[in-house]
Structure 1
Amino acid sequence: MADIESARKAFERFDVDGDGLITAAEYKSVMAQLGDFHVTETVAEALINQRDGNGDGKLSWDEFWAHLDKGSAQA
């Protein structure tokens, strides 16, 4: 199981504007800050959409955590 505290910190880092949702633009921006300039807007949108449970084009904390928790359970 993923560490929920570490996951929460990661979520907050990606949620640049603090509205409780991660957009593709926020994801792309943070990845660039981390040195990954290969994440384009298209790539970021695809990644968000793949994990977006309600289809709003954004990741909520619950969607973010569900993906991490599911991924760690499969490992």
Structure 2
Amino acid sequence: MADIESARKAFDRFDLNGDGLISAAEYKSAMAQLGDFHVTETVAEAVIKSKDANGDGLLTFDEFWGALHQD
């Protein structure tokens, strides 16, 4: 389980434009920067959708944090 400071740092790496939200395009780009070039736009959209509590197609930090504590 991640602590909140580590989670914030991870969130900030995915939030490429710094608007406080992670879009599918940002997720895909961040995963490529981390070396995973197999994440397509469709996969990124599915990942975001699976963790997106309010259904707006974007992840807030609270949704990101909540996703870390699922399972």
Asked if 1:33 is matched to 2:33, the reply is yes
Aligned counterparts of 1:59 and 1:17: Cα–Cα separation in 2: 13
- Larger helix fraction of residues: 1
Identity %: 75
- For this pair of structures, how many residues does the alignment match? 71
- CA distance in 1 between counterparts of 2:43 and 2:19 reads 22
1:65 aligns with 2:68: no
Gaps of 5+ in 1: none
Q: Larger strand proportion, structure 1 or 2?
A: 1
- Counterpart in 2 of 1:43? 43
In 2, the alpha carbon distance for the partners of 1:65 and 1:34 equals 20
* Aligned position for 1:16: 16
Runs of 4+ off more than 6 Å: none
Structure 2: where are the runs of 5+ without partners?
A: none
Paired with 1:43 and 1:70, the residues of 2 have a C-alpha distance of: 19
Q: Which has the larger radius of gyration?
A: 1
Q: 2:7 matched to which residue of 1?
A: 7
Q: CA deviation at 1:70?
A: 2.5
> For the residues of structure 1 that align with 2:46 and 2:35, how far apart are their CA atoms?
20
User: Cα RMSD over matched residues?
Assistant: 0.9
Distance in 1 between residues matched to 2:13 and 2:33, nearest whole Å:
11
